[in-house]
Structures are given as C-alpha cells and as structure tokens.
Amino acid sequence: MRSHRIAVIPGDGIGQEVIEAGKKVLSALAEKSGDLCFEFVDFDWSSQRYLEKGEYIPAGGLDKLSRFDAIYFGAVGSQDVPDHISLWELRLAICQGFDQYANVRPARVLPGVNSRLKGAESIDWIIVRENSEGEYSGNGGRVHQGFPDEVGTEVSVFTKKGVERIHRFAFQLAQSRPRKQLTLVTKSNAQRYGMVLWDEVFFEVAKDYPDVSIDRELVDAVTTRMVLKPETMDVIVATNLHADILSDLAAALSGSLGIAPTANLNPARTFPSMFEPIHGSAFDIAGKGIANPVGSFWTAVMMLEHLGESTAAERLMAAIERLTASGLQTKDLGGTATTRDVTQAICADIERQ
C-alpha cells in the first residue's frame, strides 16, 4: 500500500467547498485503486483564524507543514482582511518559506466546455510563473504616511540565480512536451534592468536546450497573441506578476476560472510543494454550494503526478474529461449543477471504471 500524507488548508470562501470536494474525489480514487491511500490532516489556517487569533499560521506551523508529502490548498482572501495581509501572511509565507519557485499553470479547453474564444480548441499551454522573487519580493516601503508628500516604493528584485533556475525549469518542461516550444515573456523595452537580465539569462540557458524552439514577446503583445493566435504557443515563461495576469487570462479563455489548476513546486524537493486551484475565495458565491470544483480536481491530478502516482493521475484526468463532456456543469459554465452534484458524479464515475 502506498500512502501519502497530505496537509489540507481549505482557507477562505469557496476554498472550503472545493477542497472538501477534492478530498472526496481523492478518497474515491484511493478506494478504487486498492493499493493507494491518503492521510489528510486539516489545518484551519484562514482569515477567520486571523480575525480570531491575530495570525494565519501559528508559531511552529511551517515546521509542522514541512513534514508532509504535499499541501492541498483552497484559497485565501476575505472582505474583512486587507488582501495584502491575507496573501503575504498565508499563501506567500508558504510559497516563499518552502522555496516553491516554480508555479506551473496548465490551460486547456476540456471536452464539453464552451470557450467564448474562436479557435480555443487549440489552447494547450503551460504557463510557468517565477514564484519566489521579482515583483513579489516584498521589497519596498512607505514614508511620510498620511502626509501629502507620502511616498511608496515597490522594488522588483531579480537575481541571476532565481532567473536561471526558472528558465531551466521551463526549458525542461518544454523539452518534455511534444511541441518543444518555449515563449519568453518580459517587458524589456521599458524596464531596462531586471527584464533585460531575464532576456540575457534566457538566451544563455537556451544554448543547453537546442531541441527546444524559442521565441520572445513583450507582455502586452502576448495578450493579443493568446487571443488571436492561441495555436502558436506551448510553454510560456514569465515573471511573478506578468504570469499571474496571463494565467487568469488563459483560464478565462479556456472556459472558466473555476477549472484551472496550479502547482507551486519546489523542484529540488527540499520542502513540500503546494497545489491549489487558480481561483480565489469568490465571496459572491461562497456558501451557496455552487462553486465549480473541477479546478480543485485538476489540481489533485497535478498533486498525484508530483507524488509519482501517474496512473492515478491519468485515471482522475480521464474522469474529469468524461464529466465535463457529459454536460453536467456548474453555473460558471452555463449549467445548473451544484458542487455536490458534480462531486457525486465524478465519484460515481471513478467507482464504475
């Protein structure tokens, strides 16, 4: 029996609902396989905890978390806590604390899902987001607060080491895919220091991967290419902020924010990696039981791949595709199914296979 210890952090809003659904699906998969099991340990790290106790992560929390095989994360964000506090105190504390420097975001139109984009069937991208530095380095400050001459700075930090490792990761990922194509996205015309370093290191690293075909875009231009020529791209590598924006666009183009998954990887495996749906806590639909759980199921597929459970990952992905093809869809995709309907349907499908 292969057993994996999973730390579960549902967090806020619909994170609670979709992660609960994801656990059910993973348990159904384990039960069906017979030689696989998951030990889930729940953590109540959320905005509610912050409001009650003044902290998202208790003392020694990261140390405890470091002993798990993977982290299954829902969402963080609350109307009662400023976003920059919730993001930095929980999600970024884990990503940066565990050196999860590669954020991987696949985008594909699943069977039966209607994209509003013409030609969307050809979307099959993986966006690689640098996840440890850049615009999210937390390097800045505010002085003269509250006075008319107040100043705020937000300094992006790009290190050669940080840039090189994300490029190598992206090249290796591109190399593992049939098309072997990698697009570099920066803004090195206007931002002439850190972004130029990104470009230079990219072309240096490219020499080690001659079988990968490469091209380069400015971040503004790539948005039009994603919409007008989606078939021309495969793997995309970009900075922390740029890739964050591009992956929301990619998710919307491929059908809904409710479908897309993310992996925050520590490729050296010195700490556990964290897996989460790309969407946030979505207050507008939280507690109504209508959140689309498919993003958390696809997230579970990425977690299984990382845990070396490739057969289970393939089984779950096939079940997800049968589910979307069946037309049973939540409101965000134009259907009327609830989170529970979708979860029950996929568990029943796994059971039948």
User: Which residues of the chain form contacts with ligand ATP (CB under 6 A)?
Assistant: 14, 18, 75, 77, 257-258, 279-282, 284-285, 291-292, 295, 330, 332
CB of 160 to ligand ATP, least distance (A): 30
Q: Is 103 left (phi over 0), alpha (psi -120 to 50) or beta?
A: beta
Closer residue to ligand ATP in complex, CB, 285/307: 285
CB of 261 to ligand ATP, least distance (A): 11
Q: Which two tokens stand for residue 352?
A: 């039948």
CA 9 from centre of chain: 15
CB of 292 to ligand ATP, least distance (A): 3
CB of 258 to ligand ATP, least distance (A): 3
CB of 208 to ligand ATP, least distance (A): 35
CB of 163 within 8 A of CB of 137? no
Closer residue to ligand ATP in complex, CB, 130/309: 130
Q: SS3 for 45?
A: coil
Exposed, middle or buried: residue 143 (CB in 10 Å: 0-12, 13-18, 19+)? exposed
Buried b or exposed e, range 204-214, using 16+ CB within 10 angstroms: ebbeebeebeb
> Which residue is closest to ligand ATP by CB?
280
Closer residue to ligand ATP in complex, CB, 18/36: 18
Closer residue to ligand ATP in complex, CB, 194/280: 280
The torsion angles phi and psi of 2, rounded to 5 degrees, stand at: -95, 125
CB of 247 to ligand ATP, least distance (A): 10
Closer residue to ligand ATP in complex, CB, 214/342: 342
Closer residue to ligand ATP in complex, CB, 319/342: 342
- Spell out the SS3 assignment of 88-126: HHHHHHHHHHCCCCEEEEEEECCCCCCCCCCCHHHCEEE
Q: What is the DSSP code (8-state) at residue 81? A: B
Exposed, middle or buried: residue 13 (CB in 10 Å: 0-12, 13-18, 19+)? buried
